[in-house]
């Protein structure tokens, strides 16, 4: 599949790009600056030993992909979605962003209730938005010496988009579950600030979650 990961010059999107490229997906790293995206793509090709990673400005990346991953900090979330609304409203979108506030570290969602619900509110009722990967740490994704493992909950209102994202997650070694409506996105987004606090208490940098009982 051809994916654009907007903001994949940062660790989270970059790690996802490495992992998905190694499984044969064509990846376009998106950035606000085309030259930064091109440099990140060159580094990714070298690091992952692949040829299928490219770099483009965010708008071109989104136009050229079948699925778009949003991987920017909350400070730039709304503006990016509004800027690229026409393109993103037409395609499956995976939002992996988390709205944080600091001192104390906490979940701080926008008025819509979560970043993913903000995305849907901007892109419209017919948009195909899913959210997931919130509890997978960037440090795990970028460390290619370790196979990926762990569980991730995928939410969304479009069954086809959820299925695509679940398969993408499984292709890189994760257990991925359809966790239901995008109305639950606040639940999954809010796990991450809690896990960051737990990382500090337990001396880790990649605590995640496991679903049991199957
Ligand atoms: N780190 C984790 O372990 C983790 C885990 C789960 C989810 N997440 C979420 O995934 C997202 C990305 O995480 P990250 O750690 O990779 O973030 P990051 O490094 O802070 O940012 C990623 C990229 O976003 C772009 N960016 C920065 N400010 C922006 C703005 N105001 N407007 C538009 N683009 C902007 C930058 O790319 P350019 O300068 O190239 O445009 C930057 O390299 C965040 O929402 C984070 O909460 C992170």
In a domain, 209, yes or no: no
**Is 10 exposed, middle or buried (CB count within 10 Å of its CB: 0-12, 13-18, 19+)?**
middle
In a domain, 212, yes or no: no
Q: Which tens digits make up the pLDDT trace of 86-124?
A: 999 989 999 999 999 999 999 999 999 999 999 999 999
Q: Given ligand 1 and candidates 4, 73, 134, 207, which is best to mutate, with the most ligand atoms within 8 Å of its CB? A: 73
In a domain, 211, yes or no: no
23 C-alpha to ligand 1 centroid (Å): 23
| Pocket of ligand 1 contains residue 98 by CB under 6 Å | yes
Cβ contact 67:92 at 8 Å: yes
Token pair of 127, please? 């948009």
Q: What is the pTM of this model?
A: 0.98
In a domain, 36, yes or no: yes
Q: What is the DSSP letter of 65?
A: -
| Pocket of ligand 1 contains residue 111 by CB under 6 Å | no
In a domain, 146, yes or no: yes
| Pocket of ligand 1 contains residue 185 by CB under 6 Å | no
| Domains held by the chain: number | 1
Secondary element (H or E) of residue 62 = helix 58-63
User: For residue 124, is the peptide bond before it cis, meaning its omega torsion is within 30 degrees of 0?
Assistant: no
Q: Residue 74's domain spans which residues? A: 2-202
Q: What is the DSSP letter of 208?
A: -
Secondary element (H or E) of residue 130 = strand 128-131
167 C-alpha to ligand 1 centroid (Å): 23
Among protein residues, the one whose CA lies closest to atom 29 of ligand 1: 76
165: domain CATH number is: 3.40.50.720
Q: Which tens digits make up the pLDDT trace of 112-164?
A: 999 999 999 999 999 999 999 999 999 999 999 999 999 999 999 999 999 99
Closest alpha carbon to 72 in 85, 63, 81: 81
In a domain, 161, yes or no: yes
Among protein residues, the one whose CA lies closest to atom 19 of ligand 1: 10
92 C-alpha to ligand 1 centroid (Å): 20
Give strand pairing partners of 166. Answer: none
214 C-alpha to ligand 1 centroid (Å): 34
pLDDT interval class at 42 (50, 70, 90): very high
What does the pLDDT read at residue 180?
98
């Amino acid at each position: 599949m051809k994916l654009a990961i907007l903001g994949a010059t940062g660790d989270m999107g970059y790690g996802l790009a490495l992992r998905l490229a190694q499984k044969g997906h064509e990846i376009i790293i998106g950035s606000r600056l085309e030259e930064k995206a091109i440099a990140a793509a060159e580094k990714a090709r070298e690091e992952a030993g692949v040829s299928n990673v490219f770099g483009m400005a965010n708008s071109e990346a989104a136009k050229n992909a079948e699925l778009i991953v949003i991987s920017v900090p909350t400070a730039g979330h709304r503006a990016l979605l509004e800027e690229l609304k026409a393109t993103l409203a037409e395609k499956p979108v995976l939002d992996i962003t988390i709205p944080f506030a600091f001192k104390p570290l906490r979940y701080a969602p926008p008025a819509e209730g979560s970043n993913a619900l903000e995305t849907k509110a901007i892109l419209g009722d017919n948009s195909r938005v899913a959210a997931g990967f919130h509890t997978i740490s960037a440090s795990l994704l970028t460390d290619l010496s370790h196979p990926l493992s762990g569980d991730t909950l995928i939410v969304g209102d479009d069954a086809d988009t959820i299925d695509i994202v679940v398969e993408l997650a499984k292709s890189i070694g994760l257990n991925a579950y359809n966790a239901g409506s995008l109305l639950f996105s606040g639940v999954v987004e809010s796990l991450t600030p809690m896990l960051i606090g737990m990382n500090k208490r337990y001396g880790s940098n990649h605590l995640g979650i496991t679903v049991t009982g199957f």
